[in-house]
Amino acid sequence: GENVEQHPSTLSVQEGDSAVIKCTYSDSASNYFPWYKQELGKGPQLIIDIRSNVGEKKDQRIAVTLNKTAKHFSLHITETQPEDSAVYFCAASKAGEYGNKLVFGAGTILRVKS
Amino acid sequence: GAVVSQHPSRVICKSGTSVKIECRSLDFQATTMFWYRQFPKQSLMLMATSNEGSKATYEQGVEKDKFLINHASLTLSTLTVTSAHPEDSSFYICSARGGPRGYTFGSGTRLTVV
């Protein structure tokens, strides 16, 4: 089955700097890659996603890149702010699999220091 | 759009009792819902996938007689933790597939078994 690895496990940046989180996946049939932000005691919130027919997607300060050949995708947050501090999860799924279930990475704790 | 309501947000129960957690899609129909369990500082672990009107599919190692899932309508799925024990204490999160965001998560339920 699919396996998603995520790095780093923790990331501390200074306010205003950029943050990059990387994920790799094992199943080349995966075609949907969302990123979630989870704050303490809350459910995950989708912040951006990308499908396999696109190499890059941007939404204001957040961008995601996908390299299908290398089977890795990355989250880029520019001009970080203290409110960006949270746990970030990448995930992967593939169409056709029963229920289209998401396989999550282990998560990255992002701390933005002001 | 695409809101998933999960209740209760917190519950404390005595060992040996059962607890029901509800997950409702408020503004879209969800033919498929997912139930996750999350331990502190860990990723989301998929427990089961439920499809409206049919039996849930459980992930390997998840006891289906202990974690009863019912998906009786297109907007409601329930997870019942039967004969709860302290080791069942965890953060349970539901997710519904559908709506513009693809997958929408509930806000989670913190279960504490004493």
A112: Cα within 13 Å, side-chain hemisphere: 18
Q: How far is CA A16 from CA A19, A62, A78, A79, B81, in A?
A: 10, 13, 7, 4, 45
Q: For A45-68, how does the pLDDT look when each residue is reduced to its tens digit (9 = 90+)?
A: 999 999 988 899 999 999 999 999
Which pLDDT score, from 0 to 100, does residue A96 have?
53
Strands B10-13 and B109-113: parallel
Closest CA to A43 of B8, B91, B27, B24: B91
Interface test with A, best of B43, B109, B110 (most A CBs within 10 A): B43
**By the CB < 8 Å criterion, does B112 face chain A?**
no
**From the list B6, B46, B102, which residue is nearest A101 (CB)?**
B46
Chain A contacts in chain B segment 2-41 (CB below 8 A): 4, 6, 32, 34
The answer to whether B99 and B2 are in contact (CB under 8 A) is yes
Q: Is A100 left (phi over 0), alpha (psi -120 to 50) or beta?
A: left
**By the CB < 8 Å criterion, does B99 face chain A?**
no
Least-confidence region, from A12-26, A50-64, A89-103, B31-45:
A89-103
Residues of A in contact with B42 (CB under 8 A): 106-107
Which pLDDT score, from 0 to 100, does residue A57 have?
95
Give the number of other Cβ atoms within 10 Å of residue A13's Cβ.
Answer: 17
- State the greatest distance between any 2 C-alpha atoms of chain A, in Å, as a whole number: 45
Which pLDDT score, from 0 to 100, does residue A94 have?
84
Query: CA torsion sign, B39 to B45 to B46 to B47?
Result: negative
Q: For A85-114, how does the pLDDT look when each residue is reduced to its tens digit (9 = 90+)?
A: 999 999 999 865 545 889 999 999 999 999
**By the CB < 8 Å criterion, does B108 face chain A?**
yes
Interface test with B, best of A40, A101, A110 (most B CBs within 10 A): A101
Q: Which residues of A touch B (CB under 8 A)?
A: 32, 34, 36, 41-46, 49, 89, 98-107
CB within 8 A of B11, min separation 6: which ones?
B19, B21, B109, B110, B111, B112
DSSP state of B102: S
Long-range contacts of residues B69-72, Cβ cutoff 8 Å, at least 24 apart: B69/B35, B71/B33
DSSP string for A27-52:
-TT--EEEEEEE-TTS--EEEEEEET
Percentage of chain B with pLDDT > 90? 77
